[in-house]
Structure 1
Amino acid sequence: MINKKVKSKNNFFWIYVVILAIFLGIFFLKSSFYNPKKIDQDTFFDILSKGEIEKIIVKHREIVHVYLKKEFLPSHGINIIPNDNLNQKFITTEHPLRYEFEIGDLQFFQRKFEEYKKRYNLDAVIDFKNQQEYTITKFFFDYGIFFILLIIFWFFIFRRIGSTGGGAGGQIFNIGKSRARLFDENDNVKITFKDVAGLEGAKEEVQEIVEFLKSPQKYTKLGGKIPKGALLIGPPGTGKTLLAKAVAGEAKVPFFSLSGSDFVEMFVGVGASRVRDLFEKAKEKSPCIIFIDEIDAIGRARGKSSIVGSNDERENTLNQLLTEMDGFGTHTNVIVLAATNRSDILDKALLRPGRFDRTILVDPPELNERREIFRVHLHRLVLSDQIDTDFLARQTPGFSGADIANVCNESALIAARRDRSKIESQDFLDAIDRIIGGLEKKNKIIKPSEKKRIAYHEAGHATISWLLEHAAPLVKVTIVPRGRSLGSAWYLPEERQLTTPEQMKDEICALLAGRSAEEIIFSNVSTGALNDLEKVTKQAQSMVAVFGLNDRIGNITYYDSTGQNEFSFSKPYSEKTAQIIDEEISKIITEQYKRAKSILKNNEKKLSILANELLEKEVLFREDLKKIFGERPFLDDIGEILSKSNKNVRSE
């Protein structure tokens, strides 16, 4: 069915191309048909003296058109076709108008023309036309062709717009039709709630919406009302659209799916028209569900832009959506399901009860949820017996469901690249490294002096993270370039719900350890700590200005969860407070930098051993640090898992 539609569109396209080519050919043929050749007066009188001219017409007292006799046309390069069936001797393929030239003095030219007629006994005729003549035929050949081409062009454009705008026939009036795709019981939607792992809370609420539509009497008999809408909010890749696909597979009711950008169009009023058309179709299919993905494309808060009238069309579309969701005459079993990762910029009128009655948070998965997500994606892969889903879940803190799916796919590609019959643990670890750090660049040329500095820089990170209580446990450290980094240390951060100032300071200290090691060993620093300094500065800023963890600022936060400050040109604090914030941020960073230098100086010998090991082996694991520093002085619950992983890696 799809192939037939595509073929039909292609046929129409080539028809338009052929029509356009025909009209262009007619236009150029007409141009060559009627455009006479320019000559001078001497040439004209030479032709006239031979008796080859039938008549001349003088226009506007300055331009002379020369018409040749038909029997002399071949000698002037004009093709003729003999015809015995007609009384005419020849049929010309071109108009007999062949030449034109300009004259200066009309009286002088006329006297000379009469002299030539008498001298050579000619029958040529002279005529004068001083007014512009236009017949219907001439007007068509001069200007009609352009109007026809213009009409054909616009017809083609509007037909294309109409065909993409929805509706039958692809006519221009269908531009205001909804672009929503309808899924019903006839469509084979295979995704169900069983395919959605790790989103138990969000899944329960969405499942209840499906139950509302399947058996509304269960809820309405007690006086309750079916919710008008539910809004899925969460970071990218957490499974919002996947939940909607599961609803489409489970609901067994008509399901309209579209994106917020489908309402946006360059023509005025099209967005609102598409909203009306969408809800009209939904009411006809009631009970049903409408899913609008990325609703922030049309749901952005009104009146926040500093430019007056910057996007009235989008606001009109939003107004129509608000009216359709909760206005007069909206007592229908139509539930609107929407998703966004920018809930802070949505209009308050859109979020109020009666429109989106439920707000469902879809957060990044935690440890147990990541384990379940891995199990969903791993059952499609050919795995070795050593794969531990618990270890993989611990190795991917902060990963979304989409990231985990990408890890599984990358591991399969890496294993295939290595000609394995099954996917091993190392393939998963390499896939995680590839996603976090980028592609490994073993062939990158680095000077020995730079490589030594990189080794000490990364050894500094590894040393401090091993010796501080709240620093993230080290997984491995490497000086192999990967992505934009020349070296990297891999950690397994603790998943906390709350963070204390001591924990944040330990993290800052570990980040500053690389530059501290450079200063201790080389007595200067380099630009290699840019990424570390960026993270450190943001961490210190959040301690002072966001979380209220500074004594001088006190229990005050300048964080605005509503997003209003995004459009403000003034800071929410005075210049004096700004100076205090700058001083406290600098103080925190300076203190932790001195602390890192102090710890590294006390362990300078072990730091050098670790750096030399890195220069020799390029990659070191947790077990290597144990040999140099001994057991980590602080207990962590993942040491055994990391040690087990390192043994598996070394065995390969």
Structure 2
Amino acid sequence: MSTKKNGDQNKSLKRYNQYFIYGLFLILIFSFFFNPFTEKNEISWLKFEQEMLSQTEVEKIVVINRETAEIYIKKDLLSEDKYKDVTNEVGPHFIMEIGSVESFENKLEKVQDSFLPEDKVGVLYEDRFEWTSIISWLFPIFLILVFWLFIMRRMKSSGGIGGAMSNFGKTTAKPVDIDIESKVTFEDVAGLKEAKVEIMELVDFLKNPEEYTNLGAKIPKGILLTGPPGTGKTLLARAVAGEAQVPFFSMSGSEFVEMFVGVGASRVRDLFKQAKEKAPSIIFIDEIDAVGRSRDKAKSFQSNDERENTLNQLLSELDGFGTNTGVIVLAATNRVDILDKALLRAGRFDRHIYLELPTKIEREEIFNVHLKRIKKDDTIDVDLLASLTPGFSGADIANICNEAALLAARKKKEVVSQIDFTEARDRVVGGLERSSKIISPNEKMIVAHHEAGHAVASWYLENVDSLVKVSIIPRGQSLGAAWYLPEERNIITKAQFTDQICAMLGGRAAEEIIFNEISSGALDDLEKVTKQAYSMVAFYGLDINIGPISYYDSSGQYQSMMGKPYSEEMGKEIDKQVHKLIITQYKRAKEILSQHEVELKKLASLLLDKEVADINDLEKILGMRKAERLLKPDDN
């Protein structure tokens, strides 16, 4: 590694010295022939006539190439003060541009009409071959050519016009130098156990292909990594590059698509050609949906001919190389629903690996990976951090760890503690805390009772996540927030749906009970409630009147349709049941808060005083949660 780096440094130093020598050579040439500081002693006709010719001080005049007159002064006069600047005693002492020869002779003759014959100056004519005149024409052209070649070479090396003309159809993917560029291994990929087993099988095949081919097995040609953003698709591909120790060609799908016809298809051909020449090898295409979008007629208005030609070439290449050639294609996307069906079939991408959001155990592993590089104290509870981050992807967890370290550094702390991670989690979820935001006392009272309404309603509902903290400190776009400790759930029952809707409506209900007035502060709650109610009725089939019918579209085909997948009468019935569900849960929230109005006012007063109420404050005011009382065994 160091030898290669030293070689690159010596090469760049040699190139630098070469350019330096060329530049110095050009400067010397320019200085020799066109030095602006060289004394030419050029004079005008007026000065020549009045100070030299009329004083009979000129010895002779030599006209060179019918353009320039060289003037020689009499040698015995060079010692005078007026000629003290003349350094060349041999001559010529002065130079003058004459224009045309006829005009020069006429003027010279008029001046010398009154001269004595012995005082008249003769004119000699001489033709000379001068290198300086030729170089004065060629040198600017030479400089332009050198500058043009230099610019074209730089543009070619940087992929500009010069490089584009010669390598326009070449792939931009280059083999990754495993020893230098790829430091990621499977140990750096936490969680994803099943996905790593599938991927490690490919790595083992590339290292020991005979173990599989002897049994008649064929390794999959392609593997498609799908899943939500941030779940580790690209990271897993980088780990393959670090583990396989074979040429690894990495390229984004958008790099195939160009405005010029045929470029994308040409780059696909060149990519697979290079991979076959260096087999065994791996091709990784990130965000393959940029080039592999579906060619359905319903989406024809979104189509692009050049993109479709590139896709057709990609499909052809995936079919073109035979089995066990040692070339494996990895691709990643989080929009598998829009990919072309021909691209997804077996024989092209034989395996589809779905990377889900990590579970609580996997989140602990991810936290442990990112905590290795952080200086932390003994207060860090990884189990609690994993519990506080349900639904978080690996990228979100990495962001929380980085934010916690930044917060600790901002506080001039030497180590990162648990409170820093809690604040980082609140910041990622709710946004930046804005303590300086000015809120009027009346608005602050409304916000306090609104958040207290959420807390009290959720506290006395069985199927709502455990409340951890309530705050009325503005954060992000919200003026307050209630923080919960979510449970790991794979399915949600109807009772859990309705309790969640009831708890979200607790803020609006508290405003109406306490102030007999409602405000616009419940906009976010109402939006979530409406979406959740429609999901219950139209997607999950949880409404009795609508029945077990789902209009959910997992394929995304309905998105391209102008209308709804159900009739107008069914749409009216869905709206009716959604409205009934929301109004019923709103009345239920008002009943709960009316029964516990004293606790509601106490909690709101505490929030107005402290701005934040933690779990201990909540238990002092509200007692033990109903759900916890049901789970706790009777002491008697």
TM-score by length of 1: 0.74
Contact 2:225–2:332 under 8 Å retained in 1: yes
Contact 1:159–1:172 under 8 Å retained in 2: no
Using the aligned pairs only, state the percent identity.
58
Gaps of 5+ in 1: 14-69, 75-82, 97-144, 640-652
Out of 64, 86, 107, which is 2:63 matched to?
Answer: 86
- What are the superposed Cα offsets for residues 151-184 of structure 1, whole Å, 9 maximum, x if unpaired? x999969974784389xx8351201111113124
Letter of the 1:617 counterpart: K
Deviation at 1:561, TM superposition (A): 0.8
> How far apart are the structure 2 equivalents of 1:616 and 1:358?
58
> How far apart are the structure 2 equivalents of 1:574 and 1:157?
64
Deviation at 1:237, TM superposition (A): 0.8
**Which residue in 2 is equivalent to 1:588?**
581
Cα pair distance change 1:565/1:9, threshold 3 Å: farther
- What are the superposed Cα offsets for residues 598-649 of structure 1, whole Å, 9 maximum, x if unpaired? 111111111000000000010001111111111111129999xxxxxxxxxx
Out of 469, 477, 480, which is 2:470 matched to?
Answer: 477
**Which residue in 2 is equivalent to 1:46?**
none
**Which residue in 2 is equivalent to 1:554?**
547
> How far apart are the structure 1 equivalents of 2:561 and 2:150?
47
**Which residue in 2 is equivalent to 1:346?**
339
Contact 1:460–1:607 under 8 Å retained in 2: yes
SS at match of 1:181: coil
Deviation at 1:333, TM superposition (A): 1.5
**What value does the CA root-mean-square deviation take over the aligned residues?**
3.5
Out of 545, 565, 568, which is 1:575 matched to?
Answer: 568
**Which residue in 1 is equivalent to 2:481?**
488
Matching of residues 33-48 of structure 1 within 5 Å: none
Deviation at 1:552, TM superposition (A): 2.0
**Which residue in 2 is equivalent to 1:286?**
279
Deviation at 1:559, TM superposition (A): 1.0
**Which residue in 2 is equivalent to 1:276?**
269
- What are the superposed Cα offsets for residues 360-418 of structure 1, whole Å, 9 maximum, x if unpaired? 01111000000111111112211111211111110111111111111111111111221
SS at match of 2:605: helix
Paired residue total: 526
**Which residue in 1 is equivalent to 2:250?**
257
Out of 285, 289, 302, which is 1:296 matched to?
Answer: 289
Cα pair distance change 1:94/1:248, threshold 3 Å: farther
**Which residue in 2 is equivalent to 1:245?**
238
Deviation at 1:310, TM superposition (A): 4.0
- What are the superposed Cα offsets for residues 442-491 of structure 1, whole Å, 9 maximum, x if unpaired? 11110000000000000000011111001111110000011111111111
SS at match of 2:489: coil
**Which residue in 1 is equivalent to 2:608?**
615
SS at match of 2:482: strand
Q: Is 1:375 the equivalent of 2:352?
A: no
Contact 1:163–1:171 under 8 Å retained in 2: no
SS at match of 2:613: strand
Contact 1:158–1:172 under 8 Å retained in 2: no
- What are the superposed Cα offsets for residues 81-122 of structure 1, whole Å, 9 maximum, x if unpaired? xx96534459999999xxxxxxxxxxxxxxxxxxxxxxxxxx
Deviation at 1:189, TM superposition (A): 2.1
**Which residue in 2 is equivalent to 1:170?**
163
> How far apart are the structure 2 equivalents of 1:481 and 1:72?
87
Cα pair distance change 1:374/1:8, threshold 3 Å: farther
Q: Is 1:405 the equivalent of 2:382?
A: no
Cα pair distance change 1:450/1:360, threshold 3 Å: same
Deviation at 1:530, TM superposition (A): 1.1
**Which residue in 2 is equivalent to 1:66?**
none
**Which residue in 2 is equivalent to 1:266?**
259
Cα pair distance change 1:609/1:159, threshold 3 Å: same
Out of 511, 520, 541, which is 2:513 matched to?
Answer: 520
Contact 1:162–1:172 under 8 Å retained in 2: no
Cα pair distance change 1:8/1:402, threshold 3 Å: farther
Deviation at 1:570, TM superposition (A): 1.9
Cα pair distance change 1:519/1:154, threshold 3 Å: farther
SS at match of 2:356: coil
Contact 1:540–1:589 under 8 Å retained in 2: yes
Letter of the 1:264 counterpart: V
> How far apart are the structure 1 equivalents of 2:261 and 2:486?
51
Cα pair distance change 1:95/1:575, threshold 3 Å: farther
> How far apart are the structure 2 equivalents of 1:427 and 1:94?
88
Deviation at 1:266, TM superposition (A): 1.5
**Which residue in 1 is equivalent to 2:29?**
none
Contact 1:159–1:171 under 8 Å retained in 2: no
Q: Is 1:217 the equivalent of 2:194?
A: no
Deviation at 1:303, TM superposition (A): 3.1
> How far apart are the structure 1 equivalents of 2:393 and 2:266?
37
Out of 201, 205, 211, which is 2:198 matched to?
Answer: 205
Out of 167, 182, 186, which is 1:189 matched to?
Answer: 182
Q: Is 1:533 the equivalent of 2:533?
A: no
Gaps of 5+ in 2: 20-43, 49-59, 71-94, 101-139
Out of 443, 449, 469, which is 2:436 matched to?
Answer: 443
Out of 297, 307, 320, which is 1:327 matched to?
Answer: 320
Deviation at 1:533, TM superposition (A): 0.9
SS at match of 1:635: helix
SS at match of 1:266: coil
> How far apart are the structure 2 equivalents of 1:583 and 1:390?
44
Cα pair distance change 1:566/1:85, threshold 3 Å: farther
Deviation at 1:438, TM superposition (A): 0.9
> How far apart are the structure 1 equivalents of 2:250 and 2:214?
30
**Which residue in 2 is equivalent to 1:501?**
494
Which structure has the greater CA radius of gyration?
2
- What are the superposed Cα offsets for residues 337-376 of structure 1, whole Å, 9 maximum, x if unpaired? 1111111111111111111100001111000000111111
418-427 vs 244-253, greater mean Cα deviation: 418-427
**Which residue in 1 is equivalent to 2:222?**
229
Letter of the 2:461 counterpart: L
TM-score by length of 2: 0.76
Deviation at 1:327, TM superposition (A): 3.0
**Which residue in 2 is equivalent to 1:362?**
355
